[in-house]
Structure 1
Amino acid sequence: MTGCRPAPTVLPPSLRVGLGLIAALAALVVVVLGVLYAGHSQPGRVDRWIIQPTADSVRPPWRYVALATDFLGEPAGAAMLVVAAVTGCLLLRRPVAAALVVLGVGMTVATATLLKRLVGRTIHGDGNLSYPSGHTAFLTALALIVALLATGRLGLGRTAGALLVLAAALVAGAAMGWAQVALGAHYPTDALGGWCTALAVVPATAWLVDWTADRRGDRMADAGRREAR
């Protein structure tokens, strides 16, 4: 009797509980910040304590770094990163991982966009919705997904895997968050909200992708057993 080897999960079992708790805490932070700043058009106390965002918060050469980082969250830059990640997954024969890249990033950006309209926070009084930062949510989500896939691919344990995933999310979120604040596009709390949005959405999406893949595998196995009879 033969059977198919189950496809590796995109959410490593050793990280499910820890990331689930982090996702719940991140979702709480997103909601609390959204309630605090709903309808606001001025920086909050935390924002003023960190930095007052303006269009020229940084000067060259750091401004060029900020602009280059910002481009990664623009449609063209984001599409390039997603296509590269999906291509890498397909070359490694990991279609489920490729699905997570598309769905994880897509769900994160969609959630951030919806939250912007619900919260209605603006910046510079020009009607630009700012909470949470979609750029920060996007890059954090992509980094988090790549780190999750690398953890499974390398067979890392709970501690090493958690460190890799959290470090990737922190570095990506901090880099894009800094760029958005430096360019005056967002308040610091907007960047924090975007970062937490990714931390809340990606683990849930990864679990859903694994669950769907498991159900599909069960159906295929049942069909195979019926044909064998």
Structure 2
Amino acid sequence: MTGRPVPAVLPPSPRAWLGLIAVLAALAVVVLGVLYAGHSQSGTVDRWFVQPTADSVRPPWRRVALAIDFLGEPAGAATLVVIAATGCLLLRCPRAAVFVVAGAGAAVGTATLLKSLVGRTIHGDGNLSYPSGHTAFVTALALVVALLAAGRFGLGRTAGTLLVLAAALVAGAAMGWAQVALGAHYPTDVLGGWCTALVVIPAIGWLVDRVGGPLAERRADAGRRERR
């Protein structure tokens, strides 16, 4: 209860760029969803990269792909979220912890909803594939952590934006490679999952700041009154 302002989880430095990127990402999600709605096989763009199969990667890279894939599974994802949220709480940043949980949950929830709406499947066994929930989750968590780091260290617009985009690109590329290599998703599913995170996280960050800001101000006011 020091009365000091609580840092925003969506720092001002990369905010404008993230808004523009979110709009473009939303357009990509919609276009890909319309193009592949109801499909059950790879498209032309997918075949530019690879023809997904269950054994498209061999040891030792298969073990690497499985390890990365685990991070998007319920147990692995829950572990990552708990670690990130606990770190925020240890740093006395409860709003950041809320951002971690809400951002990751919203990304997975949005990807799950889009899967039902688009209805694209893989391997002909009813497995909904677009967009990739694993890719959406890992990208979302990387975005959240990068945004919090950019705000905490006071990075400028260029440095902050580069950090956020680099984190999203590395995380999304790693999980995307694993999903395609293991035959769990088409390349366009991965792109859709990556773009889903780019849409969801800025919106959740704005919402957390919008709701958390007034709450933090009320707590600070109460603390000042108690000290009088």
Describe the SS at the equivalent of 2:58. Answer: coil
Cα distance in 2 for partners of 1:224, 1:188 equals: 52
Residue 205 of structure 2 corresponds to: 206
Deviation at 1:16, TM superposition (A): 1.2
Q: Tell me the amino acid that sits aligned with residue 101 of structure 1.
A: V
CA deviation digits over 1:43-77, x for unaligned, max 9? 01000111000000111111010000000000010
Runs (5+) with no aligned partner, structure 2: none
Runs (5+) with no aligned partner, structure 1: none
CA deviation digits over 1:186-227, x for unaligned, max 9? 000000000000000001100100011112134446667999
Describe the SS at the equivalent of 1:137. Answer: helix
Cα distance in 2 for partners of 1:79, 1:220 equals: 30
**Are residues 150 and 126 of structure 1, via their aligned partners in 2, closer, same or farther at CA, if it must alter by over 3 Å?**
same
Residue 20 of structure 2 corresponds to: 21
Residue 93 of structure 1 corresponds to: 92
Residue 139 of structure 1 corresponds to: 138
Residue 46 of structure 1 corresponds to: 45
* Count of residue correspondences: 228
- 1:1-229 → structure 2 map (5 Å cutoff): 4-220=3-219
Q: Tell me the amino acid that sits aligned with residue 208 of structure 1.
A: L
Describe the SS at the equivalent of 2:52. Answer: coil
Q: Tell me the amino acid that sits aligned with residue 88 of structure 2.
A: C
**Are residues 45 and 209 of structure 1, via their aligned partners in 2, closer, same or farther at CA, if it must alter by over 3 Å?**
same
Q: Tell me the amino acid that sits aligned with residue 186 of structure 1.
A: H
Q: Tell me the amino acid that sits aligned with residue 48 of structure 2.
A: W
**Are residues 205 and 18 of structure 1, via their aligned partners in 2, closer, same or farther at CA, if it must alter by over 3 Å?**
same
What percent identity do the matched residue pairs reach? 79
Cα distance in 2 for partners of 1:46, 1:105 equals: 28
CA deviation digits over 1:105-153, x for unaligned, max 9? 0000000000000000000101000000000000000001000011111
TM-score (normalizing by structure 2): 0.95
**Are residues 224 and 85 of structure 1, via their aligned partners in 2, closer, same or farther at CA, if it must alter by over 3 Å?**
closer
**Are residues 175 and 228 of structure 1, via their aligned partners in 2, closer, same or farther at CA, if it must alter by over 3 Å?**
closer
Q: Tell me the amino acid that sits aligned with residue 58 of structure 1.
A: V
Cα distance in 2 for partners of 1:223, 1:183 equals: 54
Cα distance in 1 for partners of 2:226, 2:162 equals: 45
Cα distance in 1 for partners of 2:90, 2:55 equals: 42
Q: Tell me the amino acid that sits aligned with residue 171 of structure 2.
A: A
Cα distance in 2 for partners of 1:147, 1:209 equals: 16
